[in-house]
Structures are given as C-alpha cells and as structure tokens.
C-alpha cells in the first residue's frame, strides 16, 4: 500500500473516531427523558407525580399508601394512553377494589390515597369512587366517561383550551403576572354551576376540569382543580386544600404559600394571594375553610402578609437591593441599614394596594413612599394618587419611621392601630381613613 493511501485511510479513521466521540459527548449532554414501563407499554413521564405535596406526605408517613398511590397513578396513566371503552359493569372496579380479607390498609387510608390523586391530578377528570354492598372501597371511572369517543372529544376540547392559554402565558416571565393571568382567566371565563333549584350542581362535569374547558361552569372543585391544572402546567407550586364542603388552593410565590380561592372571588381579588387572617371576616367563612384532617397538614412556610398589587422596591442608601410583590420578602433583606420602601403602581385598572402585618425593626432609618407614576388628570378631573396601605394587624413601632403619599385603611377584618412605642412617626400627604386606622401615641410629626 502506498504512503498516500495510508495517509488517506488514517485520516478517514481519525475523522470517524472524532465524529463518534462528538456524538457520544452530545448524547451525554442532552437531558435524559424519564420513562416508565407499565403493562408492557413505555410512557414518557412528562407529568411527575413525585413532586405532589400529597404524595410526598404519604412517602414520609406510610409506605403501603405510597405504593398504592404509585400503582393507581400508573394504572390510570396507562388507561389514559390506551383510551379504551369500559363495560358499564366494570366502571367502579376499573382501578381498585378493596379486599377486606387481605388488605393492610384501612378504608380511610385507601380513601386518603384516592383523594390525593383526585385533587392533585386534575387530568384524570373521569376518575371516581364508590362503595359496594360490603362497604368495600371501589375506585374507577364515572359512567358518563366510559366511552372512549366521549373522552376523546373532551380531551380535544381541553387541549384546544390549553393552546389558547399557552398563547397568553408564553410571553409572561414575571411570576406574579403569570399567577394573576391564570387567576383572571379562570374567574373571567366561568361561572358557578347551579341546578334548577339554585343548588350546587351535582353533574360530574361540574366537579372537574371539564366544567371549565367545555361548559364554562362549575362548583368549587372545578375552580380549584382548574387552578391546580394550570399552575402545574406553568410550573407554579399549587396545593389544593379541602374542608367539609369546600375546596380552594395554596399557590407558591417566592418560597411562601398564599391562599387563593377562585370560587368566592367575585372579580375583585378578595381571595387573591391572602393569608389565613382572611378567614376572620365572619364565622361562616372560617367554618367553610376549616380544612379536612383526612388530608395533609398545611406547609410551615405560610405567608404572613398578603401579596400586594404593585411592585415594592427596597432601596438601601439610594440603591435598589430588592423588588417584590411580597412585603415579607422585602423585610427579609433588613439588616440595620438606611432603607426606603418605594410602592409602585401595578396597572391602571387594578387598585394600587399594599399590605402590612408588621414593620421589621431591623433598620436605622426607614421611609415608605409612593412612586406616583400615573397621570395628573383623568379626563378633566385632577387625580391625586396615593397608595392604599391595608393594615392586616396592629403595628407597634419601636423606631422612627417616615410615611409619604399613602392612604391607610383597615384590613377587611377590623380597624387597626399604629402604636408608637417610644418612636416618632413622620407623615406627609397621609390619610388614616375615618374610623379605619388610628395612631396611639403623641409623637406624630406632619411634614410639609
């Protein structure tokens, strides 16, 4: 073999070897898709139930319940993909039938697993439960959804609806705006479902996401499950919370859980990003929101102060060091510096409202001011802009504070106090509101 031929062969082999190495390297760098195998089928695990709050609770508490959760989830996913007709006599026993003679779980434990899967996986809108003549727990499919053609039609309508929402959400990066957009979309596109006697509808669709995507109606389950469904889709933490006769949600924002109750919203954000104090409005509200002990305990990191409309900037020595819709987040940066809290407008159509449950004392100087960014006139009417600050609790001041351009009002619960404890409060263009907020103490200075 000639020397030139050897060089050509060596060059070709080298290129092939290098190409092979590059290919292997690229394959190693590509994120691995998780798959699971069930009943001989392999599925892409694109929705990971292992992140669900209820599943994690079971995993810490009871391994047998955890195994039942996993088996049921995979069984229902397998059924979802295969899309089969179900015989009417098999509906209620499709996924599980309790064996009282050979069962390590109590009926309450079985039902707890069912409730977790049901409220945490709204895509399984067709699942249901029942008890047979021997009082055994049965988990299966609602008879209204046993025909594959019916489910295919509903799935198409759900997917078509999701595409519309995707087009709205895809250009929104801000987490608060994303939460509010999802909230507004659900509240603005459905109404509460009543029967002919003005009682909550008992129709199956009124208790799952079909109510929203197909009928634009539903009871509290539809509101809560749709909110959970969309938050999951757009990577926002969401926990459904259940009481005796109601269901609502917790949503995660900046590592804290806030209350969202879309059913009772009334298009005025009454239950948007709230804390547990909202239940104190009246006893009947508190009772309806007593969550069921059958479910999980609520998280430890519940927010102390509701989410504010309008961004809050925190400045230290004139430089912005934090921006948030959460006053809790703002106060977490306090470390005995010279601070200014700047309250900013959110949207013209949304009230510029901020909430205070406390004022962190870890500061040397503190000023709260409103960044007046709106028009001076609305038509021919002069506009005097001031931020609305809602006091959620009485506030005790231990250090001097300056507040400018603010209208104080009580929380939704009752009138509140600002208590001066050896501190001076400086006010400029501040209204305390009639019979809403009072200042207890004499060290008040009004600035020009």
Q: Are 113 and 95 in contact (CB under 8 A)?
A: no
Q: Are 243 and 290 in contact (CB under 8 A)?
A: yes
Position 301 scores a pLDDT of 92
Q: Are 356 and 389 in contact (CB under 8 A)?
A: yes
Position 282 scores a pLDDT of 53
Would you report the helix, strand and coil content of the chain in percent, each value rounded to 5?
A: 35, 25, 35
Kind of pairing between the strands at 337-344 and 312-316 = antiparallel
pLDDT in tens, 69-80: 998 998 888 888
DSSP bridge partners of 140: 128
What angle do the packed helices 107-120 and 63-82 form, to 10 degrees? 50
Give the Cα-Cα-Cα angle 117, 190, 49 (nearest 5 degrees).
20
What separation in angstroms does the CA of 81 have from each of 62, 77, 85, 89, 212?
29, 6, 12, 22, 22
CA distance 192 to 203: 12
pTM: 0.84
pLDDT in tens, 180-234: 999 999 999 999 999 999 999 999 999 999 999 999 999 999 999 999 999 999 9
Mean pLDDT by 10 residues, the chain (448 residues): 54 53 46 47 58 90 91 88 90 89 85 91 93 88 95 95 95 93 94 92 94 96 96 94 89 94 78 81 58 77 91 94 95 96 79 86 95 58 72 91 88 80 91 82 89
Q: Which residue has the tokens 């990577």?
A: 235
Q: Are 58 and 113 in contact (CB under 8 A)?
A: yes
Give the Cα-Cα-Cα angle 225, 272, 432 (nearest 5 degrees).
165
């Amino acid at each position: 073999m000639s020397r030139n031929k050897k060089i050509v062969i060596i060059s070709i082999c080298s290129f092939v070897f290098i190409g092979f190495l590059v290919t292997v390297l690229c394959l190693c760098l590509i994120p691995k898709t998780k798959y699971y195998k069930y009943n001989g089928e392999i599925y892409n695990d694109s929705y990971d139930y292992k992140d669900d709050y209820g599943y994690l609770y079971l995993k810490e508490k009871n391994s047998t319940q955890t195994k039942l959760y996993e088996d049921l989830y995979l069984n229902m996913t397998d059924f979802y993909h295969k899309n089969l007709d179900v015989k009417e006599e098999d509906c209620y026993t499709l996924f599980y039938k309790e064996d009282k003679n050979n069962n390590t779980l109590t009926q309450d434990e079985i039902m707890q697993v069912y409730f977790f899967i049901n409220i945490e996986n709204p895509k399984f809108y067709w699942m249901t439960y029942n008890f047979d003549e021997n009082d055994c727990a049965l988990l299966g499919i609602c008879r209204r959804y046993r025909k594959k053609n019916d489910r295919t039609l509903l799935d198409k309508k759900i997917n078509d609806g999701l595409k519309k929402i995707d087009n709205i959400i895809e250009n929104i990066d801000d987490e608060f705006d994303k939460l509010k957009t999802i909230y507004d979309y659900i509240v603005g596109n459905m109404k509460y479902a009543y029967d002919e006697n003005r009682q909550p509808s008992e129709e199956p669709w009124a208790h799952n996401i079909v109510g929203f995507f197909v009928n634009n109606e539903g009871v509290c389950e539809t509101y809560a499950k749709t909110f959970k469904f969309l938050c999951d889709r757009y990577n926002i933490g969401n926990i459904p919370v259940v009481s005796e006769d109601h269901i609502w949600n917790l949503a995660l924002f900046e590592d804290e859980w806030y209350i969202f109750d879309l059913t009772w919203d009334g298009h005025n954000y009454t239950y948007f990003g709230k804390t547990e104090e909202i239940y104190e409005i009246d006893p009947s509200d508190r009772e309806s929101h007593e969550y069921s002990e059958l479910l999980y305990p609520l998280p430890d990191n519940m927010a102390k102060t509701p989410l504010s409309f309008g961004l809050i900037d925190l400045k230290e020595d004139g430089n912005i060091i934090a921006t948030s819709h959460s006053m809790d987040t703002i106060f977490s940066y306090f470390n005995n510096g010279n601070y200014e809290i700047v309250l900013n407008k959110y949207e013209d159509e949304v009230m510029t409202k901020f909430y205070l449950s406390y004022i962190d004392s870890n500061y040397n100087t503190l000023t709260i001011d409103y960044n007046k960014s709106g028009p001076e006139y609305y038509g021919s009417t002069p506009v005097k802009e001031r931020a609305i600050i809602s006091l959620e609790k009485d506030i005790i001041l231990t250090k001097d504070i300056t507040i400018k351009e603010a209208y104080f009002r009580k929380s939704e619960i009752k009138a509140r106090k600002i208590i001066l404890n050896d501190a001076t409060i400086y006010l400029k263009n501040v209204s305390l509101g009639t019979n809403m907020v009072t200042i207890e103490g004499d060290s008040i200075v009004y600035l020009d």
